Structure 1
Amino acid sequence: MRLFLSSYRFGAHYDRLAALVGAPGRVALIPNACDAWPDMWAAAVTSDVVPLRRLGYAPETIDLRDFVDQPAELERTLADFPLIWVRGGNTFVLRAQFARSGADLVLPRLLADDVLVYAGYSAGACLLTPDLHGLEVADDPAEVRPACGIEPQWDGLGLVDHRIVPHLDSPTDPDGDCARIAERYRADGVAHWALTDDDAVVVDGNRIDLLLSPTAS
């Protein structure tokens, strides 16, 4: 299993993503964490397409809403990509769209078979953790039903054993919501990685590297 999980895009560690992936090629861009914000959806896609193209990748948008109740078709589609890029947004909306499309079953199988690399930031990273409780401080679960037609799910995919708090001490978290989540996890003794926008977690087989700046905890 190969994972690159960050707070914001590549953080300060693009070299580690490149080492996982090899030569840049096709990448499946999954923007469904933004499904609750239709007016922002196209701009959110563009904001990731541009930096990926600059690095030599060929991003193609994969909208999980096109695969609702079609997990076999989704698996065939994703298996053609060496890299999956899952952007940030609302973690609960993203989790719901993974459930509706079967991506929550498909991607773990593909990762276990080492078919592709999963790169996710913010919501795309939090999704892979064991449990999403606490993230409601920053992401609104009430956005799930209008956007997805189902109730929020509070379990993550469980592909890493720590919860992830993104945007620590970051201008992308002006109200300090993420700092409050990290403080709650510390107080409750919850195993977690609190990441600044420079930080990342890299999983390569049995090896896990936590790449933290001095201010992260």
Structure 2
Amino acid sequence: MRALLTSSGIKNSSIHDALVDLLGKSIAESNALFIPTAIYPFPGGPGMAWRAISGEGPSPLCGLGWKSLGILELTALSSIEEAAWVPTVQAADALLVWGGDPLFLANWMRRSGLTGLLPTLRSEAVYVGVSAGSMAVASTFVETYREPPRGNDGPLRSEDIVFATPQGDVDRILVTGQGAGLVDFAVIPHLEHPDHPDASLANAERWAARIPAPTYAIDDETAIKVVDGAAQVVSEGQWKLFQP
């Protein structure tokens, strides 16, 4: 399976062209499934999911002009027969995995069976990650929380740390989580974004030091394109690779 791991979706022509190249055909000829699961732990999550699905969100992922678009809700899959959903995933040209809480997403990827299914999908199928959707496919990822995350969201390790941000942010908890292992590197999204003041370059370096794999810190104008395990940076913005 191929991958396009983004911070904020298809934000510029370079990332758009990379997606078309991975698909091997136009978006208008491609069938996609959208996974909104990661957004639900956030206040207002259902509304944010609808805006993403309807194409009204800040990132035009569902509104790119797909031949067909379906919704794959991971929290429902464990309660239905695999025969009802696995063939649909196997037939999809692209899985569009939305942002939100990466621990929650990684947990439901495991519980639903999607984590085990991903390596068996067609080599030309494309996993398109946005923020948490990009983080959760690494073997190990890190995320910050104001409150301790729920213990039932899978294997994790927590460390209390203090961030130096322009806003003078208070203590946060840095959590190391276990992802799907679809790629052999990690992603830290929203680098130097004003709405994500803790995602500074200095903090990204500190977080990457806790990940036993190469780690890409990327801004919203950058994506990582993966074919046959080889990663290529596609960027009209800022990024940095940290080695373990």
- Structure with higher helix content: 1
Structure 2 partner of 1:176:
198
Structure 1 residue 115 displacement after superposition: 5.4
1:204 matched to 2:227? The reply is yes
Structure 1 residue 124 displacement after superposition: 0.4
Structure 1 stretches lacking a partner, 5+ long? none
Name the stretch that deviates more: 150-159 or 6-15. 150-159
Structure 1 partner of 2:45:
40
Structure 1 partner of 2:159:
none
**Given residue 100 of structure 2, which amino acid in structure 1 is its aligned partner?**
G
Amino-acid identity (%)? 26
Aligned-partner Cα distance in 1 for 2:126–2:220: 20
Name the stretch that deviates more: 199-208 or 82-91. 199-208
Name the stretch that deviates more: 65-74 or 82-91. 65-74
TM-score by length of 2: 0.74
Name the SS for the 1:79 alignment partner. helix
Query: Do 1:89 and 1:123's aligned partners in 2 also have CA atoms closer than 8 Å?
Result: yes
Structure 1 residue 72 displacement after superposition: 5.1
Query: Do 2:98 and 2:132's aligned partners in 1 also have CA atoms closer than 8 Å?
Result: yes
Structure 1 partner of 2:154:
152
**Given residue 11 of structure 2, which amino acid in structure 1 is its aligned partner?**
G
Aligned-partner Cα distance in 1 for 2:87–2:145: 34
Aligned-partner Cα distance in 2 for 1:68–1:127: 19
TM-score by length of 1: 0.83
Summarize the Cα distance change of 1:172–1:72 in structure 2 as closer, same or farther, 3 Å threshold: farther
The residue correspondences of 1:1-217 to structure 2 (distance < 5 A) are: 1-12=1-12, 13-21=15-23, 22-24=25-27, 25-37=30-42, 39-50=44-55, 51-52=60-61, 54-57=63-66, 58-68=68-78, 70-71=81-82, 73-110=84-121, 113-114=122-123, 116-132=125-141, 134-135=142-143, 137-138=144-145, 142=149, 144=150, 150-153=152-155, 154-173=177-196, 175-177=197-199, 179=201, 181-187=203-209, 190=212, 191-213=214-236, 215-217=238-240
Aligned-partner Cα distance in 2 for 1:38–1:80: 33
Q: How big is each residue's C-alpha offset from its partner over 1:24-79, in whole Å with a ceiling of 9 and x where there is no partner?
A: 23210001001223732243232244124542113221111221154454322211
Summarize the Cα distance change of 1:138–1:170 in structure 2 as closer, same or farther, 3 Å threshold: farther
**Given residue 21 of structure 2, which amino acid in structure 1 is its aligned partner?**
A
Name the SS for the 2:178 alignment partner. coil
Aligned-partner Cα distance in 1 for 2:147–2:132: 12
Query: Do 2:95 and 2:126's aligned partners in 1 also have CA atoms closer than 8 Å?
Result: yes
Structure 1 residue 100 displacement after superposition: 1.5
Aligned-partner Cα distance in 1 for 2:88–2:34: 12
- Structure with higher strand content: 2
Structure 1 residue 130 displacement after superposition: 1.5
Structure 2 stretches lacking a partner, 5+ long? 156-176
Summarize the Cα distance change of 1:212–1:118 in structure 2 as closer, same or farther, 3 Å threshold: same
Quick one: higher RCO (CA 8 Å, sep 6+), 1 or 2? 1
Summarize the Cα distance change of 1:60–1:114 in structure 2 as closer, same or farther, 3 Å threshold: same
Aligned-partner Cα distance in 2 for 1:156–1:31: 17
